[in-house]
Amino acid sequence: MSLKVSRTAARVRAFQVLYSLQFTPVSSAEELKLAAEQVPEDADESTGLPAPSTDFAWEMIKGVWANEAALDAAIADYSRNWRVNRLGKVERTVLRLALYEMKNHPDVPSRVIISEALNLAARFANDQARHFINGILDAAAQSR
């Protein structure tokens, strides 16, 4: 299994867990781990991808959760005239995940992160959301 496929599956897994947290927030790392375990493993089967790299998925989940306020501030900065709380849950989750990866994984090219985020948006959101996400992430990539 290639690193690309493994990381793609890990991003899908991280998205699923982080999205679920928008409905059932947690307040501790222990609760976060329990919440991650509650998302069914078979949710990954629908991707047609091999099992995700759990280390990478877990690092992304923990990182986004711990840095949510800073990520939301970055979204607000890049989105101009949009309040973060007006964004849909899917869009907000995709943006948080991609911005976290841009900031904390300089080894991953911005174009790869944007492509992966747009693939998540294509799967879980609508076309209009994809354009919005692309605009914000492009602005973030230019300042990277």
Is the pLDDT at 6 greater than 60? The verdict is yes
Mean pLDDT of 80-89: 85
**Domain ranges across the chain:** 3-142
Q: How far apart are CA 9 and CA 28, in angstroms?
A: 25
Both tokens of residue 138? 């492009």
Q: How far is CA 92 from CA 2, 15, 87, 136, 143, in A?
A: 28, 10, 6, 11, 20
- Average pLDDT of every residue of the chain: 88
Q: Look up the CATH architecture of domain 3-142.
A: Orthogonal Bundle (1.10)
| Euclidean distance between the first and the last CA atom of the chain, given in angstroms as a whole number | 30
Is the pLDDT at 42 greater than 60? The verdict is no
Mean pLDDT of 112-126: 95
Residue found under tokens 């944007």: 114
Radius of gyration of the chain, Cα coordinates, nearest whole angstrom = 14
